[in-house]
Chains A and B, each alone.
Chain A
């Protein structure tokens, strides 16, 4: 079980050092360095193809970095299997929703509790008291998270039947069910309307209030500037700025590289 964030939690929970990942000639990420403190909300921004998702994939273990290290809560997790990283308290969502299509919403969220359930094969087969406790506890926890993220549809629904915004919520609930210390959200606001975005900002603050640190990839500048404590800006795999929203907004390199290339 993840320890309470205080007092054992280090001052910096995530330290990314000179991270790089290359695909053949493509330098998707090339020298990314940043750190995350407990309860912090950090945004990673950058134009399309800047390497934000690739950076997430390196941090969570889906890609093996070509260079650099990732230290999570005092432990070097570089190159570690994603499931192991997840069990250490790092949870994520995906840019393109990746829910389990043929499972109910409730079961989707319950998979997040996988590592926390003390239920053996024998327990499941014989429906022992331990199984019943795990069963009811995990259902209760999943419902708690669904209510927390403001999911309002049926918990027995299958993912395909749900509106997009609800699917996004389920994915966040599923990530939260894993009881993370650090939550990585890859464009959670993509495809949401203004109203839903407002709800998302509130939700992210609510998650922060639980003592969970958040790294957020987001294109919506309003949202980013509104909720982040710090912003990391990437372009062509390189990190071009790291600072408070105000600092980043004023940074000429950012204006040049990021805002300058923005259409409209």
Chain B
């Protein structure tokens, strides 16, 4: 991180126009911290797995891969709608933008529903954080990620609300920031799914 650039208020027109970060600088600093947190979590998973390969492989077989794949599709579809929402607002169509955000929110909601069923099935079997190291990671990682989906949805809902009430001069920048955060949630799941559900 360059200390100088950190202090610049984001999206003032001072930067050279051809290269520009979409969204506020503050959200990107935050995204970096989040990515770091997940990186530490993932690497810890990798190390723990290397020490208990059999336990991890056995545990993994009990996971619901279809649910995981479905959730991947829901997240990337949600992201795709968010991209369209940004494009529409840039094109001067706040109504269309808000509509796309609703679709993205629906995808997020779908993700939550799938997750709830997935957890319910696991908890019904008596699986908990203390069952073994694999399940500890499975539950912690997916739950930590789930919290991010929820936060992302709150952000999208706020953005939807401000679009509906009529966009102001800073709405585009806010939307770009929220979009960047939402895509980050997606980015992390793209690693998480193969790692926890598939790779053996």
**A and B physically associate:** no
| Interface positions of B (Cβ within 8 A of A) | none
Chain A interface (Cβ < 8 Å from any Cβ of B): none
